[in-house]
Each structure stands twice: as C-alpha cells, then as structure tokens.
C-alpha cells in the first residue's frame, strides 16, 4: 500500500499566506508541512506582501506581546 500525500489528498490550508486555499507547507504558507506554524522572524518565513523590514517589524512586535 502506498498512500500519497500530494494532490487533492494533501492537507488543505486557508491561512493568510495565500488568498486561496492551498496545500499546507507551500512557499508562502504560514504553516510547515508538518503543521508547525511558520511565523515572521523564522528563517523560512516568506510573505510576498511584506518587505523584509515589515517582516522584521512583525517579528519584533510578536516578541513584545509574549
Ligand atoms: Zn497556509
């Protein structure tokens, strides 16, 4: 038996990284394929709507809240 985790059987995600449903772990997805959240400040975080400075600011403000 060979269960594939791709295509329509993949885990769907609706996070803010994309404006449409996508597969979790996609390049701009806020979650990694293993389900952990990928947040501003993480080295593999990407957001095509934010500049590097904005991402750094978001990371700083998130740290302040905790
Ligand atoms: Zn996502």
Residues of the chain with pLDDT > 70, as a percent, come to: 82
Q: Of residues 11 and 4, which shows the higher confidence score?
A: 11
Query: Using an 8 Å Cβ cutoff, are 30 and 17 in contact?
Result: yes
1 Cα: distance to centroid of ligand 1 (angstroms): 28
Question: Does pLDDT of 48 surpass 70?
Answer: yes
Task: Give the model's pLDDT for residue 14.
Answer: 94
- 14 Cβ neighbours under 8 A, 6+ residues apart: 21
Q: Of residues 13 and 41, which shows the higher confidence score?
A: 13
64 Cα: distance to centroid of ligand 1 (angstroms): 24
> CA dihedral defined by 51, 56, 57, 60, rounded to 10 degrees?
160
Residues within 5 Å of ion ligand 1 by Cβ? 13, 15, 17, 29
49 Cα: distance to centroid of ligand 1 (angstroms): 14
Task: Give the model's pLDDT for residue 64.
Answer: 80
46 Cα: distance to centroid of ligand 1 (angstroms): 11
* Whole-structure pTM value: 0.61
Query: Using an 8 Å Cβ cutoff, are 19 and 5 in contact?
Result: no
């Amino acid at each position: 038996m060979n269960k594939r985790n791709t295509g329509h059987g993949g885990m769907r995600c609706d996070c803010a990284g994309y404006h449409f449903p996508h597969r979790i772990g996609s390049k701009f997805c806020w979650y990694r394929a293993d389900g952990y959240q990928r947040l501003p400040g993480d080295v593999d975080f990407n957001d095509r709507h934010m500049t590097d400075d904005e991402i750094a600011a978001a990371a700083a403000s998130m740290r302040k809240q905790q």
